[in-house]
Structure 1
Amino acid sequence: MNLLSLYYFVELAKELHVTNTAQKLYISQQNLSQHIQRLEQYYGVPLFHRKPKLALTYAGEQLYAVAVKILAEEHEFQNRLADISEKSIGNLKLGIPSYRGQICLPEILPRFYAKWPNIKIELCNESSNKMEEHLYNGELDIFIGVMYQDNPKLESSTLLTDHIYLVCSDELLQRHYPDSWQKLKEESLSGVELAHFSKIPFLLPASSMKLRKTLDQCFLDAKVKPNIFLESQTTELFMSLYPHNYGAFFCTQMRLPTLLAAHPDANAFPLALKKSLINHRLVLAYHKERFLPEYAHDFIEITKDVFDGIAEVRPH
């Protein structure tokens, strides 16, 4: 048993697909299978059910829980060594949604690498819930994303109060509210009530996404059953469909510059409920009980400074 085999086992346990995991790890399927077989021989138990589809056995579930902790401790030890190394060689595991990374990392990374050229940054782009879980388990050093509730073991700092906007074209408004669309548009500039948009079809995030859960609660509170035209995991798809006027969609404030750059005439109304604007709390979080090297603390400070600038240019 070695750490590499444990690492390969954990990655396969997450993916539960040999071909995809092997490609992700840049190894052959045969090599991956050999590492799993060595672990099974070492422990004397099967770790995966092979049929009807790949799944962890009970022993595999127990090993996964332990292996995650072992690899987290080993990563923390590497961080401690990096902190005392003269060459400052190490890695930083960062969880951040891809679209947020596209906005902030081009400003963060040049400043970070000017001081820490030998640090490798590993990016994780999964759901916010999953990345928060990885952070708690020690599989990530830093998480940048949405958190609804504070965790006593996680240190979190608010980076941005990310308002939610309803994006709706003039054509959609005219089609569904021909006699009152201009008045509706003017009234919605300071905050849109979903009850006033009940006739409009919607493009909504997938039900598993945090934004969708917020929106579902808003629809429920407004006593509106949305007419759903399309659901998707990516807001980028909705932005690309904007000119076709299939329906209104929602986006966070952080996405607005990208939207308005592509469609300057787009209406973006801040979402409100009982005259209170709806928003997401975007945070930077790390585990209080995990060691963070100096370069990780520098990354945190640079990130906070960059988001201070992002917050200043957002519309109010």
Structure 2
Amino acid sequence: MNLVSYYYFVEAAKDLHITNTAKRLFISQQNLSNHIQKLEQYYGVELFNRKPKLSLTYAGEKLLEAAERILGEDANVINQLAEISEKGVGVLRVGIPAYRAQVCLPLILPIFYQKWPNIKIQLTETQSANMEEMVAEGLLDVFIGIKNADDSALEVTPLLNDHTYLMASDTLLHKYYGKRADRLKQEALNGTDLKAFSELPYMLVKLPNRLRKTTDECFNAAGYKPNVFIESSNTELLISLYPKDFAAFFVTEMRLPLLEDIMTNSSCFPLMSGGDLIMHRLVIAHRAEKYLTQYVKDFIKISIEVLQEIEISRQKARGKAGKRV
């Protein structure tokens, strides 16, 4: 069976929308459908339920698991043979959440491609928990994110500590706190447990987002349920609404450089719990017993060096984190 058919099937299973998958892969819908039909004919089963909407059959779920393993092993073989041939050609499968990629990859990839110009990078941009599983299963070479489980199958290197911030505009603070707003900002400059901000409305990302879990814990510790203006699983939607001064918003430290355009006349207050600043440790991880090509090793090394430089710069700047942006 052609590996391309497996690849197209796996991609279609991600979207469960033939039109969207075909557009994303720059192929025709007919071409994509033909590959899926070939697999169905080869195995003698239906892989998708077509109505009322596209979904995987039980057979499709089983083939998806097998196809991902097959494609993963194929990538591993390509990498090993490429290194043996010393042509410097191969595939690097990197998992990283999209907004972290915006910050990290423009710093990492120029250095990496100076040494490895012929390496193709396949990006997976999803939640850290999903990518952690994919690395353990051999579907990714490395992931950059927040480690969830205590998994001995992974070799993990810390990169930096990512703090969590409450972001609120002056307009919003003065609307709800009046003359108290300026004093409130000064008191929260170096950290807040949210008790003093109970009157604000909030824009929140939906569970199971890690940031939402963290902020829910803070609200519980502060002893109140937040006034939720809007919830959404789309963080970019919340960011687009922030300049309208509807509500306060929570962000990770890594997002702050990406939000400079919308943070005029705003303040950022680091969140605290039990008197300590809340932070999550960003790591880079790979499967401990997996064969690593030299370019994978170099990518890991470069990532560590770049992110640790960012951490050093952050440590110098954190004293100013609560000041007006």
Classify the TM-score, shorter chain. over 0.9
1:49 has 2:49 as partner: yes
1:131: which partner in 2?
131
Aligned to 2:165: 165
1:3 paired with 2:3, answer: yes
Q: CA deviation at 1:199?
A: 0.5
1:186 has 2:186 as partner: yes
Task: Report the TM-score, using the length of structure 1 for normalisation.
Answer: 0.93
Q: Which segment is superposed worse, 27-36 or 304-313? A: 27-36
| Partner of residue 27, structure 2 | 27
Distance, in Å, in 2 between the alignment partners of 1:261 and 1:301 is 32
Structure-1 residue corresponding to 2:176: 176
Distance 1:110 1:3 in 2: 31
Cα distance in 1, alignment partners of residues 237 and 35 from structure 2:
39
The question of 1:228 aligning with 2:228 is answered yes
Quote the Cα distance in structure 2 between the aligned partners of 1:262 and 1:60. Answer: 44
User: For the residues of structure 1 that align with 2:242 and 2:43, how far apart are their CA atoms?
Assistant: 55
Deviates more, 1:127-136 or 1:77-86: 127-136
CA displacement, residues 58-103 of structure 1 (integer Å, 9 cap, x when unaligned): 2212111122111111111111112212221111111112221221
- Where structure 2 has 5 or more consecutive residues not aligned to the other structure, the ranges are 319-325
Displacement of 1:182 in angstroms is 2.6
Measure the CA separation in 2 of the matches of 1:234 and 1:146.
Answer: 19
**Structure 1 residue 179: Cα displacement:** 4.4
Percent identity over the alignment?
Answer: 53
Question: Where does residue 156 of structure 2 map in the other structure?
Answer: 156
Deviation at 1:241, TM superposition (A): 3.9
Residue in 1 aligned with 2:323? none
Answering whether residue 57 of structure 2 is matched by residue 63 of structure 1, we say: no
* 1:311 positional shift: 0.7
Moved more, 76-85 or 296-305: 76-85
Assess if the C-alpha contact under 8 Å between 2:47 and 2:59 holds in 1. Answer: yes
Q: Distance in 2 between matches of 1:5 and 1:241?
A: 41
Normalising by structure 2, report the TM-score. 0.91
Give the AA of the match of 2:90: G
Q: Matches of 2:234 and 2:301 in 1, distance apart?
A: 29
CA offset at residue 209 of structure 1? 1.7
CA contact (8 A) 1:94 1:123 kept: yes
State the partner residue of 1:267: 267
Contact 2:242-2:262 within 8 A present in 1 as well: no
Aligned residue pairs, count: 316
Q: Which residue of 2 aligns with 1:208?
A: 208
Q: Secondary structure at the match of 2:126?
A: coil
Q: Deviations over 1:187-242 (max 9, x none)?
A: 11121121211100111123232211211122122222111112334555444444
Is 1:280–2:267 an aligned residue pair?
no
| Equivalence for 1:199 | 199
Q: How does 1:37-116 map to 2 (within 5 A)?
A: 37-116=37-116
Runs of 4+ with >6 A deviation: none
Whether 2:121 is the aligned partner of 1:121: answer: yes
SS of the residue aligned with 1:4?
helix
Structure 1, gaps ≥5 residues long: none
Counterpart CA distance in 2 for 1:67 and 1:138 is 13
Deviation at 1:24, TM superposition (A): 2.1
